[in-house]
Amino acid sequence: MLNDLKQQPADALLALIKLHNSDPRADKIDLGVGVYRTGDGETPVFAAIKAAEKKLAEEQESKAYLGPEGDMGFVEKLMPYVFGKANPTMDGRIEGMQTPGGTGSLRLALAMVKRAGYKRVIVGKPSWPNHNQICADLGLGVLEFNHATPDGTTDMDALRGAIASAEDGDAILLHGCCHNPTGIDYSNGEWDEIASLLASSKILPVLDLAYQGLGHGMEEDAYGLRRVLATVPEALICYSCDKNFGLYRDRVGALYAMVVDPADLARVMSNGHALARANWSQPPDHGAAAVRLVLEDEALTTQWLAELDQMRDRMREVRATLASAGKTGGVDLTPIGIQNGLFSIVPFTAEQVQEMRTKHGIYFAGSGRINVAGLTTGNIQKFIAAVADVTA
């Protein structure tokens, strides 16, 4: 029977990594892989995480199973940063569990959406490709709306229309900040409107907060999520520490559920635990334990936040440099300056994407999505010149 399986297409990003690695040119540039890089092109382990890992190695007494909910100390210590320090549990209406990265959180959230009887998920287009892939694998329908307009702003008319046309049994998936792949985020005023629209609907919000702290700051980047949660009766929140703690390969995430009545939480979370048990049984502990130790120690927390500030400041500098180039060949790089996070989309044609690879050794996704953290003082002018060359 296994020989009846159909060949699946290679993951585009993994194929891109291979292409970049096989390019012999010394000045090649990788703008495809979605990890933070320093000005030297490195992806270092946070010093705060290093210190926490050392403490963990010295003090951890057992590696026995924790259960499908994972490290609940990690889950609880993270909550004030996600939901606000004043009332992180929303009067007992929010509870969470650890997951294997943000992808694990999304998989679990959408599986709960399916189990709860929802039929369809409203998703902005473009979105992170795994959003639609997970929906398809679970048998959930997808209704797409345009996330952004050609001028680089959010398409609020499209979002309003999607919410207005929603039916019973619909959920909506929204990026909390640092939109992947466009970098185009809703303003605070737009989030206010979104919260109001969702409050007047029967749509279940699924909020994906994968890049908190990489846009404008930990508090600033949580604005939209908190505004929505303040107005709707229930929601699912997907969280990743892979980016803002630099724990990519350790797969550190969390899923939170907000319910109408605190009495419903145990029943709702029991479904999360059962689904987790059937998928991965229990999440890996090391990365989450390191995050917990950072958040339990005031000095390590301060160190972590300072490192996060440095990451954000560097990406802001890269964005400012690209924006200052303005009209470059046939494209305008100016909007990149007001976008957020790791990613932006440059409107290349398929032929131009290929020419950037073959002629200039610059690799990024076929959609035109670039990882701005892959640009440094040593290669950014080459990138700008190449853009001018292939789009002129």
Q: What is the DSSP secondary-structure string of 326-345? A: -EETTEE-GGGGG--SSEEE
Angle formed at CA 112 by CA 105 and CA 141, multiple of 5 degrees: 100
Across the strands, what pairs with 258?
94, 235
Q: Tens of pLDDT along 254-312?
A: 999 999 999 999 999 999 999 999 999 999 999 999 999 999 999 999 999 999 999 99
Work out the average pLDDT over 197-208. Answer: 97
Quick one: 258 and 375 in the same domain? no
On whether both 86 and 40 belong to a single domain, the answer is no
Q: Are residues 22 and 158 in the same domain?
A: no
Q: Is residue 58 part of a domain?
A: no
Q: How far apart are CA 229 and CA 235, in angstroms?
A: 7
Distance between CA atoms of 246 and 303, rounded to whole angstroms?
A: 14
Query: Is 54 annotated as catalytic?
Result: no
**Residue 157 among the catalytic residues:** no
Assess if residue 50 is contained within a domain.
no
pLDDT at 152 over 90: no
170 and 219 fall within a common domain: yes
319 belongs to a structural domain: yes
Q: Specify whether 134 is located in the same domain as 76.
A: yes
| CB neighbourhood size of 231 (10 A) | 16
From 191, 221, 243, 250, active-site residue: 243
Host domain of residue 16: 11-45+304-391
Average pLDDT, the chain: 96
Residue 154, phi-psi category: left (phi > 0), alpha (psi -120 to 50), beta (remainder): beta
| pLDDT band of 163, cuts 50, 70, 90 | very high
Domain membership flag for residue 59: no
Same domain (yes/no): 22, 168 = no
Which structure tokens are listed for 197? 């629209």
Helix (H) or strand (E) holding 95, with range, is strand 94-100
Domain C-terminal end among 246, 274, 296: 296
For the chain, how many residues are written? Answer: 392
Among 296, 324, 359, the domain-final residue is: 296
Domain contains 52: no
- Please state, as a whole number, how many other Cβ atoms lie within 10 Å of the Cβ of residue 229: 24
Q: Is the domain of 218 the same as that of 309?
A: no
Q: How many CB atoms lie within 10 A of CB 202?
A: 11
Residue 57 lies in a domain: no
128 a catalytic residue: yes
Nearest alpha carbon to residue 285 among 19, 60, 26: 60
Specify whether 228 is located in the same domain as 325: no
Q: 33: pLDDT confidence band, cut at 50, 70 and 90?
A: confident
Question: Any alpha helices (H) in the chain, and if so which ranges?
Answer: 12-22, 47-59, 72-83, 101-115, 129-138, 156-164, 188-199, 218-221, 223-229, 265-279, 286-296, 298-324, 350-360, 380-391
Q: Which residues contact 171 (CB under 8 A, 6 or more apart)?
A: 113, 118, 120, 121, 122, 203, 204, 205, 206
Domain end (from 296, 312, 341) = 296
The answer to whether residues 184 and 285 belong to one domain is yes
pLDDT of res. 150: 87
369: domain CATH number? 3.90.1150.10
- Domain CATH number, residue 97: 3.40.640.10
Indicate which residue of 155, 208, 242, 285 is catalytic: 208
Catalytic pick among 128, 155, 242, 304 = 128
* In-domain check, residue 355: yes
Q: How many domains does the chain have?
A: 2
Q: Place 109 in a pLDDT band, splitting at 50, 70 and 90.
A: very high
